[in-house]
Structure 1
Amino acid sequence: MAKTVFFEEQRWTNWHLTVRDVPIAGRFELHNSGGSASIARMAESAAAVQLLLGRACREGRRLRAQGAAWSFSEAAAIPGGWCLATGHANWLFRLPGAHVVPDYPFDREGLILCQTGISVAELNMFLEGRGRSLATTGASNGQTFVGAMSTGTHGSAIDHPAIQGQVAAFQLLPAPDLNLWVEPASRPVTDGRLAADLGATVVRDDALFSAALVGLGAFGVVHSVLVRTVPRFLLEMSRERRPLTAEIEKAMNGGGFDAAGLPGGTRRPYFFQSVVNRHIDAGHAYVTVGYDLPWEEDQKLDYDLVNKRGPGYELAVVVANLLSAFPGLSPPITKAVLSDQLKPFKARKRSWGQSFNYTTPRSGTAGAAVAVPTERTLDALEILQRAMKKVGKVPAAFACRYAVKSPGLLAFTRHGRTTIVDIDGIDTVGTRKLMAQAVADLRTQGIPHTEHWGKVNQMTATSVRDAYGDDLEAWMRTRTDLLDRQAEYVFGSAFLDRLGLTSPTF
């Protein structure tokens, strides 16, 4: 039988060591039943979680499901509560097309049921070996899919939403006696057989789907998700150091790529990233561009999960390599460092899952990210450069990636065309000051922005309310309608209490 196993641990630290030694009441691990994966055993797993939820409600103990504990922020922390580690619960199933409603508008053969602890890396390897692919992911592959979804982790494909945009439905455990299969009423997916096999009740509700999609753990335990996939494809990536011309700036600011002189000419990229840092390499940008191509049958699927110079998200890798080269120190990120680490390459073809790094070093790095309307990209970068000047040079740098408005009331990428401006660096006092100054100056200058839920942030109850407005009110109202008073407390956290999203009162 599936079970939760208790460990008498008193302190919790996240993966990247940016949140350390949080006092907890213990840690549980969710383990599947022995034997082969099956939907019936998935139902047993959900029941095991619900037993634990019942105990938490009876004892007034907060409980937080944690995937890879990947967030730089306190999003996964649960001071004084119980951690529920889900990484061992990582089964995957292809949903038969016959179980999909007749008028479903997407590929009915491409739906995959993912258990709560599946990592993005595991999902990529499962899919691509079977001729399918995710359309987008975040910067790394080490997160669990559910954790990335629940914090609204942004994607990195310019015409796609964040990672949660690929979710068709999900299984939510909001109480000891509630097991819900949640689909949007406006786009139903399954015919009910899957939910029945999972022991769940089908709930088709646009409001609940939109609220709990980026639920921050506050709606209950997401036990499984049904993910839309696409036929696998190749990403042809190139990178070069370019003069920061008006044409490149126009592309960065959403003005189009036709005149930018990119490797694909006037063809629209699938992926576009610019690393632009006046304090390091004035007048230049490191531009990475990727184009989607049809799959080639001789393409080898060899996942180098520790490749530190992959064509994916390079800036965090630069920081990681610096830490490896200078252990115990905080060296500056210089022009020479960027030139060495961000070497040019041309027309490198890989699958989507092969194009991004599995992990970054656990210790010493810190990342923040703000999302702004793409037409304000250059304004935001100028403000960040001025913030750098105010605090003095610190071991940090800036990069821009792109996505479109994403589903979920509390989606971080909420502008029609969104630029994600990353601030990555070595975790020093100066780097943290830069992150705080940058956000303060964006607020002062009136640049519309949101902060990444899962990265180092300066969020307050006021800033969250200003950023999300009516969507925040709808999120909170939907949560209140779903949960009883005990569950409202159990699924809260100190992080969410501070932001006014949950209450510390039992």
Structure 2
Amino acid sequence: MARILKFDDRTWHNWHFTERDVPIAGRYELHRAVTASLADMRASAKAVQDLIGKAFTERRRLRAHGATWSFSAAPSVPGGWPLATGYANQLFALPKTHVDPAFSGDHDGLVLCQTGISVAELNMWLEPRGRSLATTGASNGQTFVGAMSCCTHGSAIDHGAIQSQVRAIQLIPSPDRNLWIEPASRPVTDGRLAAELGATVLRDDRLFAAALVSLGALGVVHAVLIESVPRFLLENHRKRLPAGPALLRAMSSLADVDFAAANLPGAAGRRPYFFQSVINDQIDKGFAYVTCGYRCDWDDGHNLDYSIQPKRSPGYNLATVVANLLDSAPGLTPVITKAVLADQLSPINGRVGSWGQSFNFTTPRAGTAGASVAAPVDRVHDVRAIFQAALTKVGKAPVAFACRYARKSPGHLAFIRWPQSVITDIDGLDSSATRLVMAQAVTDLRSAGIPHAEHWGKLNQATASSVRDAYGDDLERWLAARTDLLDREGEYVFGSDWLDRLGLSNRNF
């Protein structure tokens, strides 16, 4: 039977320890039954409603979280109750009989995912059944719902972020409401699934767009209905190339003619499905490490061996040790950074795998940090120049910059906001110099007037003002949807210090 367990912990930390020693009033875990069933899903939703009722009564902030992979304070709830969802991970294929006859999508690909399912688990469930996700983040230890809620940006150049695959959302915003939300403009189910989950169908485009990237502020997302695609293979290549005009032009346009001129690794006249370019003048001036993945038809003889690694492997805290060492001896930074980059970006020559094998479960390490901004693709080199200049201003820092790409993504608060967007990452060891580079880069982007938005789940410099500048009318739509959905108790309970600071919730209710 589904149940919620209580623990008397008084401090909390995220997976990477970028948020640590957060004072809490206890924590909870949502667990599924051993045997998967929709009846247990219904009982699970009722258990969540009961906990929300307790939070309302005791005026305690409640925050559901997945694997706590966010570097930012997005899952943090100081003084409140974290609700860990990772043990609630049931999956069901939606029967075709339950699909709305007007739904124009792939009826074979609809899958109900409970809140705690990880991306890696979802891959391993879908692919043996002949299906696949179209995109994910490049590391699949996150829960799907957690990655959706913070708009993890995906890894496919012609697709939106991870939430672009979501077709319906089960949202619990109060002790007495259990909602099944679909867009009114594209209904998906005929109502029977919602009834089995004990949920009320609500077809509303604005609320659906708000709930796609909710940041935990609208209630507890208990399940999502995703639309998968027929499985495929990805042929992966990586090569160190001169960062010449042809490659730089391809990075700023993504046009097929520019890709052809750039002589990308493994191209053979093909458009990449995944494209990443890592250019770091401080490490390897004049060269780029270019990774391309090309979509291929499925081979029935392909072996689905995922070789999943344990969540905390030996050496988990090694990065913390190195970061502390570099804070004390910054002169070692270039040598260590170059060695790490060479190891992480070693050549790949035609390695073939499924999507789940190509972007498999990776072990995050304490002591690492990441930041990302999205911008229009034609501004990629302006962004890169500002990032390099920020590093020069700060001095030696154990960071590297990478560019990945995705399409404009659904959701009022999706940070990928341009028809074709570049996502520029700052990744490195979590040292004081790394944090300074991240802050300086965003400060200089703002000063230069380059349109951009910051990744919610990574370390960011967001303020109430910068969020308003980045999201404009979409922010107003999101705030209006939240106000309409929640009563005054809900507005308080599903807030947090982080959301208060960004103007997305209010402590004074």
TM-score band, normalised by shorter chain:
over 0.9
Alignment match, 1:375: 378
Alignment match, 1:104: 103
In 1, the alpha carbon distance for the partners of 2:339 and 2:151 equals 34
Alignment match, 2:263: 261
Matches within 5 A, 1:213-224: 213-224=212-223
The 8 Å contact of residues 306 and 360 in structure 2, kept in 1 or not, is answered as: no
Kindly provide the CA deviation profile for residues 190-248 of structure 1, in whole angstroms up to 9, marking residues without a partner as x.
00000000000100000000011100001000000001100110000000000001110
In 2, the alpha carbon distance for the partners of 1:440 and 1:360 equals 31
Alignment match, 2:174: 175
In 2, the alpha carbon distance for the partners of 1:72 and 1:324 equals 14
The 8 Å contact of residues 39 and 196 in structure 2, kept in 1 or not, is answered as: yes
Kindly provide the CA deviation profile for residues 70-95 of structure 1, in whole angstroms up to 9, marking residues without a partner as x.
10000000000011111110000000
Alignment match, 2:430: 427
The 8 Å contact of residues 169 and 211 in structure 2, kept in 1 or not, is answered as: no
In 2, the alpha carbon distance for the partners of 1:221 and 1:307 equals 28
In 2, the alpha carbon distance for the partners of 1:426 and 1:339 equals 15
Alignment match, 1:363: 366
- 1:273 is the counterpart of 2:272: no
In 2, the alpha carbon distance for the partners of 1:373 and 1:477 equals 27
Shift of 1:325: 9.8
The 8 Å contact of residues 184 and 206 in structure 1, kept in 2 or not, is answered as: yes
- Relative to the length of structure 1, the TM-score reads 0.95
The 8 Å contact of residues 318 and 366 in structure 2, kept in 1 or not, is answered as: no
Shift of 1:383: 0.6
Amino acid at match of 2:422: T
Kindly provide the CA deviation profile for residues 142-166 of structure 1, in whole angstroms up to 9, marking residues without a partner as x.
1100000001110110000000000
Give the one of 309, 320, 323 matched to 2:319: 323
In 2, the alpha carbon distance for the partners of 1:341 and 1:116 equals 31
The 8 Å contact of residues 320 and 365 in structure 1, kept in 2 or not, is answered as: no
Give the one of 474, 478, 481 matched to 1:478: 481
In 2, the alpha carbon distance for the partners of 1:334 and 1:394 equals 8
In 1, the alpha carbon distance for the partners of 2:196 and 2:457 equals 33
- 1:447 is the counterpart of 2:445: no
Matches within 5 A, 1:24-173: 24-33=24-33, 35-173=34-172
Shift of 1:336: 5.0
Quickly say closer, same or farther: Cα 1:78–1:218, change in 2 above 3 A: same
The structure carrying a bigger helix percent of its residues is 2
Alignment match, 2:329: none
SS in 2 for 1:84: strand
Amino acid at match of 2:420: R
Alignment match, 1:18: 18
SS in 2 for 1:9: coil
SS in 1 for 2:146: helix
Matches within 5 A, 1:396-475: 396-475=399-478
Give the one of 486, 500, 503 matched to 1:497: 500
Alignment match, 1:8: 8
SS in 1 for 2:181: strand
Shift of 1:279: 1.0
SS in 2 for 1:109: helix
Quickly say closer, same or farther: Cα 1:293–1:325, change in 2 above 3 A: farther
The 8 Å contact of residues 270 and 291 in structure 1, kept in 2 or not, is answered as: yes
Alignment match, 2:394: 391
In 2, the alpha carbon distance for the partners of 1:264 and 1:182 equals 42
Amino acid at match of 1:41: D
Quickly say closer, same or farther: Cα 1:324–1:464, change in 2 above 3 A: closer
The 8 Å contact of residues 368 and 430 in structure 2, kept in 1 or not, is answered as: yes
In 2, the alpha carbon distance for the partners of 1:222 and 1:162 equals 18
SS in 2 for 1:402: strand
SS in 1 for 2:87: coil
Amino acid at match of 1:30: L
Shift of 1:51: 0.4
Quickly say closer, same or farther: Cα 1:372–1:32, change in 2 above 3 A: same
SS in 2 for 1:139: coil
Amino acid at match of 1:459: A
SS in 2 for 1:135: coil
In 2, the alpha carbon distance for the partners of 1:349 and 1:456 equals 33
Kindly provide the CA deviation profile for residues 255-312 of structure 1, in whole angstroms up to 9, marking residues without a partner as x.
521211122233211000001001111100000001000011111111133499xxxx
In 2, the alpha carbon distance for the partners of 1:228 and 1:168 equals 7
The 8 Å contact of residues 492 and 507 in structure 2, kept in 1 or not, is answered as: yes
The gaps in structure 1 that reach 5 residues or longer are 309-318
Amino acid at match of 2:489: Q
In 1, the alpha carbon distance for the partners of 2:181 and 2:403 equals 34
The 8 Å contact of residues 116 and 145 in structure 2, kept in 1 or not, is answered as: yes
Q: How many residues align?
A: 495
Amino acid at match of 1:434: V
In 1, the alpha carbon distance for the partners of 2:343 and 2:495 equals 45
The 8 Å contact of residues 120 and 360 in structure 2, kept in 1 or not, is answered as: no
In 2, the alpha carbon distance for the partners of 1:304 and 1:287 equals 25
Alignment match, 2:306: 303
In 2, the alpha carbon distance for the partners of 1:153 and 1:123 equals 16
The 8 Å contact of residues 92 and 115 in structure 1, kept in 2 or not, is answered as: yes
The 8 Å contact of residues 153 and 412 in structure 1, kept in 2 or not, is answered as: no
The 8 Å contact of residues 369 and 459 in structure 2, kept in 1 or not, is answered as: yes
Shift of 1:103: 2.0
Shift of 1:484: 0.3
Quickly say closer, same or farther: Cα 1:207–1:361, change in 2 above 3 A: closer
Kindly provide the CA deviation profile for residues 338-372 of structure 1, in whole angstroms up to 9, marking residues without a partner as x.
33442212111000011124233331100000001
Alignment match, 2:227: 228
SS in 2 for 1:474: helix
Q: C-alpha root-mean-square deviation of aligned residues, in Å?
A: 1.8
Kindly provide the CA deviation profile for residues 454-495 of structure 1, in whole angstroms up to 9, marking residues without a partner as x.
000000000000000000011001100010000100000000
